């Protein structure tokens, strides 16, 4: 008997190996569409944390292979920093620091004006106040001793972008918080199909940025509430800029400082707009679909792994979950199940949920899954729920609720 089981196991392993072999060998099938270069190495933020995150986000789209060009440390000799921009479809700027050598600045200007793509990420718009072409590329920036001589403030008012020529501080933000992002240009490839308003996870809301703002399109703004340290205006948070033939996507979002978790860059809204913005900068088009769990106007949504978690990963977290725990796997489960239900594929995963609720998990996790089953479950769930009603006191009440709702016995 034992031998028979071992033989069967080997047979299964061999079959599985054979069936995956061809796809492993055809590596060319995994070739990415675009090459991206992240420039980093100095920043008033934790670039050692943010750069690997940006790399992961771009790679997770399946569209990019990503290299990193790291400058010397602050104050060290920069003369040999000469990345070959021409090898890339898009350059992602995660850098605030010492000036690059003139040769490198010229090469970057030629790369962009010749049709290269650029992503300006968060504090990169603090860099290089005195580099004229750079400021034309970022459109608007802040800090770095900028003032009214650097250009007007840019805000959204009365349905359009306005330029405000007045003196005042340049670049600041109130306390970090979750805030709504409002799409202002919904026909642009980057924003097409996104919810008009979505709740961005806790981040800095940059305000009072200014600059030349030539060939600049405001894609999205956030309202900087005066009660929360804001200007009372609609501040640009996502923009595009044309520089020669080059395409630039500028996001002010994504504060990363210290040790994680970093809600600003785990936000599905940040991740998806970065991926779409990078694809547009590289190619002028966007082919990526918008995920079902994109944040809503009143609900944030986060991907701690910078991609959607699969059901096994979510259930693993829920198994350990206790009320008051920092992470909220419930929200991930709700998002995933809603997506499966809308796609008509909930039946395929119901068995996994039923195994979970009769397995060894926390009562809080099981209660949550029962609650979700009450919404989406089929009659297949009834025997398992009935067992919980009689055998597991900590889960019995929610199991009964789900049972009655699925069987149609429930009324309120
Ligand atoms: Zn920041």
Residues 258 and 355 in one domain: no
In this model, does residue 238 exceed pLDDT 60?
yes
Q: What is the pLDDT of residue 327?
A: 61
Phi, psi of 68 (to 5 degrees): -125, 130
Confidence of residue 324 (pLDDT cuts 50, 70, 90): confident
Q: What is the pLDDT of residue 335?
A: 83
Residues 330 and 214 in one domain: no
**How far, in Å, from the CA of 205 to the mean position of ligand 1?**
9
Does residue 265 lie in a domain region? yes
**How far, in Å, from the CA of 268 to the mean position of ligand 1?**
18
Which residues fall inside 5 Å of ion ligand 1, going by CB? 204, 255
- Residue-wise pLDDT tens digits, 275-287: 999 999 999 999 9
**How far, in Å, from the CA of 308 to the mean position of ligand 1?**
25
Confidence of residue 339 (pLDDT cuts 50, 70, 90): confident
Q: What is the pLDDT of residue 330?
A: 84
Q: What is the pLDDT of residue 31?
A: 81
Residues 219 and 320 in one domain: no
Summarize the confidence of residues 78-90 as an average pLDDT. 98
User: Degrees (nearest 5) of the Cα angle 77, 83, 87?
Assistant: 175
Q: How far apart are CA 182 and CA 196, in angstroms?
A: 6
Q: What is the CATH number of the domain that holds 202?
A: 3.40.50.880
**How far, in Å, from the CA of 206 to the mean position of ligand 1?**
8
**How far, in Å, from the CA of 69 to the mean position of ligand 1?**
21
**How far, in Å, from the CA of 118 to the mean position of ligand 1?**
19
Query: Total domain count for the chain?
Result: 2
Q: Give the position of tokens 């069967």.
A: 8
- Residue-wise pLDDT tens digits, 40-82: 999 999 999 999 999 999 999 999 999 999 999 999 999 999 9
- Is the previous residue joined to 265 through a cis bond, with omega within 30 degrees of 0? no
Confidence of residue 7 (pLDDT cuts 50, 70, 90): very low
Alpha-carbon Rg of the chain, whole angstroms?
A: 25
Confidence of residue 17 (pLDDT cuts 50, 70, 90): very low
**How far, in Å, from the CA of 254 to the mean position of ligand 1?**
7
Does residue 151 lie in a domain region? yes
In this model, does residue 29 exceed pLDDT 50?
no
**How far, in Å, from the CA of 255 to the mean position of ligand 1?**
4
Average pLDDT taken over every residue of the chain: 91
**How far, in Å, from the CA of 204 to the mean position of ligand 1?**
6
Summarize the confidence of residues 380-396 as an average pLDDT. 96
Asked if 183 and 196 touch (Cβ cutoff 8 Å), the reply is yes
**How far, in Å, from the CA of 12 to the mean position of ligand 1?**
51
**How far, in Å, from the CA of 27 to the mean position of ligand 1?**
39
Confidence of residue 1 (pLDDT cuts 50, 70, 90): very low
Residues 262 and 328 in one domain: no
Q: What is the DSSP string of 180-244?
A: EEEES-TTSTTTTTS-SEEEEEEE---BS-BS--TTEEEEEEEE--GGGT--SSEEEEEEEEEET
**How far, in Å, from the CA of 45 to the mean position of ligand 1?**
6
3-class DSSP state of 127: coil
Residues 329 and 202 in one domain: no
Which of residues 283, 317, 347 is at a domain's end?
Answer: 283
Does residue 367 lie in a domain region? yes
**How far, in Å, from the CA of 93 to the mean position of ligand 1?**
14
Residues 236 and 312 in one domain: no
Does residue 299 lie in a domain region? no
Cα torsion angle, 271, 189, 236, 301, sign: negative
**How far, in Å, from the CA of 53 to the mean position of ligand 1?**
15
Confidence of residue 332 (pLDDT cuts 50, 70, 90): confident
**How far, in Å, from the CA of 379 to the mean position of ligand 1?**
50
- Residue-wise pLDDT tens digits, 150-197: 999 999 999 999 999 999 999 999 999 999 999 999 999 999 999 999
Summarize the confidence of residues 194-208 as an average pLDDT. 98
**How far, in Å, from the CA of 311 to the mean position of ligand 1?**
33
Does residue 212 lie in a domain region? yes
**How far, in Å, from the CA of 398 to the mean position of ligand 1?**
43
Asked if 256 and 264 touch (Cβ cutoff 8 Å), the reply is yes
Does residue 111 lie in a domain region? yes
Residues 194 and 241 in one domain: yes
Mean pLDDT check: name the lowest of 223-232, 299-308, 374-383.
299-308
Does residue 18 lie in a domain region? no
Paired sense of beta strands 90-93 and 34-40, if any? parallel
**How far, in Å, from the CA of 95 to the mean position of ligand 1?**
12
**How far, in Å, from the CA of 98 to the mean position of ligand 1?**
18
Q: What is the pLDDT of residue 22?
A: 33
| Per-position b or e across 62-87, b if 16+ CB within 10 A of its CB | ebbbbebbbbeeeeeebeebebebee
Q: What is the pLDDT of residue 79?
A: 98
Paired sense of beta strands 64-70 and 234-243, if any? unpaired
Paired sense of beta strands 234-243 and 216-223, if any? antiparallel
Confidence of residue 5 (pLDDT cuts 50, 70, 90): very low
Residues 271 and 340 in one domain: no
**How far, in Å, from the CA of 66 to the mean position of ligand 1?**
23
Residues 328 and 268 in one domain: no
Domain region containing 51:
23-283
Does residue 54 lie in a domain region? yes
**How far, in Å, from the CA of 119 to the mean position of ligand 1?**
16
**How far, in Å, from the CA of 186 to the mean position of ligand 1?**
26
Q: What is the pLDDT of residue 24?
A: 32
**How far, in Å, from the CA of 76 to the mean position of ligand 1?**
24
Q: Is 325 left (phi over 0), alpha (psi -120 to 50) or beta?
A: beta
Residues 205 and 349 in one domain: no
Residues 109 and 229 in one domain: yes
Q: What is the pLDDT of residue 9?
A: 45
Residues 105 and 47 in one domain: yes
Summarize the confidence of residues 114-136 as an average pLDDT. 98
Confidence of residue 411 (pLDDT cuts 50, 70, 90): low
**How far, in Å, from the CA of 356 to the mean position of ligand 1?**
40
């Amino acid at each position: 008997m034992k031998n028979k089981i071992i033989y069967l196991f080997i047979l299964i392993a061999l079959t599985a190996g054979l069936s995956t072999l061809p796809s492993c060998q055809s590596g060319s099938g995994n070739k990415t569409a675009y090459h991206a270069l992240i420039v980093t190495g100095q920043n008033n933020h934790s670039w050692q944390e943010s750069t690997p995150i940006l790399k992961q986000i771009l790679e997770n789209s399946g569209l990019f292979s990503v290299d990193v060009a790291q400058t010397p440390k602050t104050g060290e000799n920069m003369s040999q920093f000469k990345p070959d921009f021409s090898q890339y479809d898009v350059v992602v700027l995660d850098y605030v620091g010492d000036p690059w050598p003139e040769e490198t600045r010229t090469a970057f200007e030629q790369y962009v004006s010749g049709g290269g793509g650029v992503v300006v990420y968060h504090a990169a718009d603090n860099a290089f106040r005195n580099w004229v072409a750079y400021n034309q590329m970022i459109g608007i920036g802040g800090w770095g001793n900028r003032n009214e001589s650097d250009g007007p403030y840019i805000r959204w008012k009365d349905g359009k972008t306005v330029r405000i020529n007045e003196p005042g501080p340049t670049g600041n933000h109130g306390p970090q918080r979750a805030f709504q992002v409002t799409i202002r240009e919904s026909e642009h490839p980057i924003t097409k199909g996104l919810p008009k308003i979505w709740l961005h996870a806790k981040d800095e809301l940059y305000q009072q940025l200014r600059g030349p703002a030539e060939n600049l399109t405001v894609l999205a703004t956030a309202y900087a509430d005066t009660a929360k340290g804001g200007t009372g205006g609609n501040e640009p948070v996502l923009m595009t800029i044309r520089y020669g033939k080059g395409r630039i996507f500028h996001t002010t979002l994504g504060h990363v400082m210290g040790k994680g978790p970093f809600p600003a860059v785990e936000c599905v809204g940040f991740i998806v707009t970065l991926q779409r913005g990078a694809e547009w900068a590289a190619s002028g088009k966007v082919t990526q679909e918008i995920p079902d769990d994109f944040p809503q106007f009143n609900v944030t949504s986060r991907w701690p792994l910078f991609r959607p978690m699969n059901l096994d990963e979510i259930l693993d977290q829920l198994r350990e979950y206790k009320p008051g725990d920092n992470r909220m796997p419930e929200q991930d489960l709700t998002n995933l199940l809603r997506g499966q239900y809308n796609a008509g594929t909930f039946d395929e995963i119901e068995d996994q949920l039923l195994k979970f609720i009769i397995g060894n998990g926390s009562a809080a996790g099981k209660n949550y899954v029962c609650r979700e089953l009450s919404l989406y479950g089929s009659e297949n769930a009834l025997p398992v729920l009935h067992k919980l009603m009689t055998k597991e006191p900590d889960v019995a009440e929610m199991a009964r609720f789900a049972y009655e709702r699925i069987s149609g016995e429930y009324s309120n």
